[in-house]
Chains A and B, each alone.
Chain A
Amino acid sequence: MKISRDDVNRIAKLARLSLGDAEADAMTKQLDAILEYVVQLQTLDTNGVEPTAQVGDRATPMREDVPAPSLTQEEALCNAPKSAGGGFVVPKTVDVGN
């Protein structure tokens, strides 16, 4: 086994996915099969080879720092499931004790 059910639960938590039991079982089997396939990369000699993260012309170019119109506050909020007072509304993040 390349990956265990515990591993899957751990990465699901990191990825903010709440998987059901049956789903976690199925994912474990499928991810294991994929990792069994992917492991063949270990047979490739990459000693001293530079990694490629990006292809294309050049490193991120800089542009002039000039102000320009962007989305309005109204446009930015128009798709929010909940908004109020010009901001996004989310459930409380901190329990205030005592």
Chain B
Amino acid sequence: MAVVDLTALSLTDLVAKVKAKEVSAAEVAAAYLARVRALDASIGAYLLVDGEGATAAAKAIDARIAKGEDCGPLAGAPIALKDIFTTAGVKTTCGSKILAGYVPPYDATVVKKLRAAGAVILGKTNMDEFAMGSSTENSAFMPTKNPWDLTRTPGGSSGGSAAAVAADLCAAATGTDTGGSIRQPASVSGVVGMKPTYGRVSRYGMIAFASSLDQGGPLAKTVRDAARLLESMSGHDPLDSTSADRPVPKLEDAATKGVKGLKVGVPKEYFGKGLDPEVESVVRGAIDSLRSAGATISEVSLKHTEYAVATYYIVATAEASSNLARYDGVRYGARVEAGNLTEMYAKTRDAGFGAEVKRRILLGTYVLSAGYYDAYYRKAMQARTLIRRAYESVLADHDVILGPVSPTPAFRLGEKTADPLAMYLSDIYTIAVNLAGLPGISVPAGFSTSGLPIGAQIVGRAWDEETVLRAAGAIEAAAGIASRKPVLNGAA
């Protein structure tokens, strides 16, 4: 029998093989663990690999399959978790030194759901500290390299998850997206990444950055994989009052349903200055492929686009300054001892937080402080209303909106670390979607001439992930690049 490279398979194909007993979950876990050992030293996708836990979980799946049980839609699939999801008994850092030594006593709801669906948790992936960043360089521990070019970043903040999926170091991964942190790394790392509608996925056990914007979602090798993982992650959770009490839709077949008759709006504001010509050409190619597949394309105007970054960096930092007040050296994580309580707080937080986190806490504190609240925070909340309405107006007579994800392909390590504002502006096409709470996906659509992946973004109506996945599936099929993989030294 020919040797099948298990790690190169899509999640859905892999699960089918496990269920058909063509391969055991233990063999699958061993293949992935071996690949991680061989390759991750040069990529740095994982902060923690739980070989023991993964092996035990895989064996348990095999035992159940042997008894004829249905182990669920993810049976035996090795999944990597962004290190923002709490895992019972397994260290969780959120990319920060302030959570040093923290071993959560509980699983995040997403983690519980994945385990119940048969997933094998491989480990925890690197991220920008508290998900604040667009390159994973703000991790307190190490940068992650882009598997397509090790001198470049994998994007962020879910950069470890994106790199792990791109390099076949997991079958799929979870991420979180507050302003583009799933979609942007997916785009520059050449994988599929989806942020669902706000409220679709429970935030319980997902360490908070900006609560009105944060959403968990999948990063995967194919649109079908992403749909299956999203289905498994979704659903109402009484432990998160913002999680929607709605039935979880069947999403998996959306990828192959086609786009005949679909109305696609292309915002002219997304093709202005700052957009790399190679990114523009790939996104225009995606537009053409939807047209060829039977969709109707029209140019639209998405008003207030130019205000999205400013609005976001007020709303998100205000919420962050409040959320991160909990890190005080009292209940968990690091503590720097001092003579009195106030000094202990200040010293603990000074030593525990990195520069970007401090910058955002300071900005958030400033925009909420007496005398500035109306000029900044209230103004931003009003701008958010206008941005939300602009999307509603376009989506009233279009099924989806199509545009770029990131203005450039992956940038170099160190290229933007000295200029926080330049880093913020790389999120220009993704953050308005979080402000509006809508579902959005990044799907690989092509490559730059130097071989860097470029994604296209599709945004849909609230709760209509299905149509977003349909459009993504059509772009994926037309691009025909799902089997193109980065070349990595040391690969078996």
Chain A: residues with CB nearer than 8 A to chain B?
A: 3, 7-8, 11-12, 14-19, 23, 26-27, 30-31, 33-35, 37-38, 40-42, 44, 46, 49-57, 60-61, 63, 71, 75-76, 78-82, 88, 90-93
Contacts and interface: CB of A to CB of B under 8 A. Distances in A.
Contacts of A55: 198-199, 212, 388, 435-437
B304 A44 contact: yes
A61 B245 contact: yes
A35 B241 CA distance: 33
Name the 8 nearest CB pairs between A and B, nearest first: A55-B437, A51-B381, A79-B332, A46-B382, A81-B335, A75-B105, A18-B346, A52-B384
Is the contact region of chain B dominated by helix, strand, or loop, or is it mixed? helix
Nearest to B328: A16
B385 A51 contact: yes
Interface string B231-260: 000000010011011100000000000000
Nearest to B241: A60
Interface residues of B, number: 74
A92 B361 contact: no
Interface string B90-122: 000000000001111110000000000000000
Interface of B: 101-106, 198-199, 212, 238, 241-242, 244-246, 304, 306-307, 309-311, 313-314, 321, 325, 328-335, 337-347, 349-350, 353, 355, 358-359, 361-363, 365-366, 369, 375-376, 378-386, 388, 420-421, 424, 435-437
Contacts of A61: 241, 245
Given A37-B421, A53-B381, A79-B102, A93 B341 contact: yes
Given A54-B242, A79-B101, 9 more contacts: A18-B346, A18-B350, A40-B310, A42-B379, A44-B307, A44-B383, A56-B199, A57-B246, A76-B105
B416 to A, nearest CB: 13
Contacts of B321: 15
